[in-house]
Amino acid sequence: MYAILDIETTGGKYNEEGITEIAIYKYDGHEVVDQFISLVNPEREIQPFVVNLTGINSNMLRNAPKFYEVAKRIVEITKDCILVAHNAQFDYRILCTEFRRLGFEYERKSLCTVELSKDLIPDQPSYSLGKLVRSLGIPVTDRHRASGDALATVKLFKMLLDKDSDKSIIQNSVRLNPKHQLEPKHIDIIASLPSITGVYYIHNGDGDIIYIGKSNNIKKRLNQHFTGTNAKSKKIQAKVNTVTYQATGSELVALLKESEEIKRVKPILNKSLRRSIFTHALYHYKDEHGYINLKIDIADGRKKPITTFSNRQSGKSFITKAVEDFNLCQKLTGLYKTKTSCFNYDIKTCEGACIQKEPSELYNKKVTALIDKNSYNNKNMVIVDKGRDVDERSAILIENGVFKGIGFFNLNYQINNLDVLESIITPMQNNRDTQHIIQSYLRRHKRLKTIIIDT
């Protein structure tokens, strides 16, 4: 649990500042679950440059509560939380100073979004809150007021969690705030999980990730793990201490994140999924007559496939439908073995490429159309899918035929510019598995929106 905050002060000498406004959003890693926003009477003068910057003046604070009147609420809303702020050292120091004046030692763990941003979003021209969120397409209102800045920090932190590929933020948080669960702990865990699409991480008592999975219903999937009787389920039941999750909204994003993170983290209970997730592929070659032939074969890493399949039957079903959709020849697609004409030619639904009656130029155009539709080689595009919220969408970036990564954007934000896209994208590995996941997902979701981007 995180307490994301922003504080406005009077300015002045070091450790003599007073708080004029405070905003705290209690954030569970997915949504804001509580908030506290208040002006504060600092009982001291406000520096003129601060008045100009924030618009907060002494007249506005005359009837505002003094710090001791809001101190209890601050303690309560930040209890068992990690403090998160943009330049956390400043905000934490100010809070501790105010509490020390009341004779109370205030202690919390903290995270700084400036430091996290420099690590996870490198090479930004500026890491000031205003310039950073603008460059990332994060909407911000009431700049230099506690509520506006804290809310912008919430949105920034959400993006940083997305970009935290190694899950170091989550793992450190689990270690800092261990959940000492009572039996039956499995029921307690399931009760805390949502019925949403995303990736889930099963941790042991040390906070280490022992299993990663994806589901369109995380709560239901964990219930299956905890009631399963196979060897893997029993190991999960014995070792689980905490389950964290990352909402994706999109099943495609969840599939890509699951594949990437299993390969990187190598959880002890994910052994089977570390291997490639496809066995067969579609290849093409030209025969002695100049016709492009298609063939479903066992996947070979030395060859470049058009697309890949989880099994041979899936590939056969695909090519059968392709013959019908693109009016291709059964013989030249490997579906009908013969030395003469194919069956479809005999019933007059094939143009005769099998016996060189249809010109190779015309036939090859149809095959090329099939290849172009089912391969994103040399393409610059964004696949747009569901987001985690109603006003959000996910973006899967393909640059020059190479999968670059995923990100999330607000519906009001333009994403057809490559430079803008790269700033919100979390980089991910391009490999044969990611190509298979994307291509097979596009085959199953033909109405998925794709945008050709400017280069």
- What was the pLDDT predicted at 107? 86
Residue 285, strand partner residues: 293
Looking at 3.30.420.10, 3.60.10.10, 3.40.50.1820, 3.40.430.10, the CATH number of the domain 2-163 comes to: 3.30.420.10
Q: Which candidate, 372, 368, 359, 370, places its Cα nearest to that of 290?
A: 359
Residue linked to tokens 């969690």: 161
Residue type, 166: D
Residue type, 219: K
The order of strands in the sheet holding 32-39 is 32-39, 19-27, 2-9, 82-85, 110-112
CATH code that applies to domain 168-272: 3.40.1440.10
Interval 269-285: pLDDT, tens? 887 655 566 788 888 89
- In a 13 Å sphere around the CA of 372, the CA atoms on its Cβ side amount to 7
Secondary structure of the chain: what % helix, strand, coil (to 5)? 40, 20, 40
Query: What does R_g of the chain's alpha carbons equal in angstroms?
Result: 28
- Given a contact cutoff of 8 angstroms between Cβ atoms, the answer to whether 260 and 241 are in contact is no
Tokens of 384: 């747009």
- What was the pLDDT predicted at 182? 35
- Given a contact cutoff of 8 angstroms between Cβ atoms, the answer to whether 172 and 25 are in contact is no
Question: What is the number of helices (H) and of strands (E) in the chain?
Answer: 17, 16
End-to-end CA, the chain? 41
Tokens of 52: 């100009």
- What was the pLDDT predicted at 248? 92
**DSSP code of residue 446:** T
Interval 433-450: pLDDT, tens? 888 888 888 888 878 888
pLDDT along the chain (455 residues), means of 10: 91 84 91 92 88 86 90 92 89 89 86 86 85 82 84 90 77 55 67 91 89 92 84 86 91 91 87 67 90 89 81 88 90 90 89 91 91 76 88 87 86 67 81 83 84 71
Domain ranges within the chain, ordered by starting residue: 2-163, 168-272, 280-373, 381-452
Q: Which candidate, 411, 405, 401, 418, places its Cα nearest to that of 449?
A: 411
Residue linked to tokens 């509490």: 99
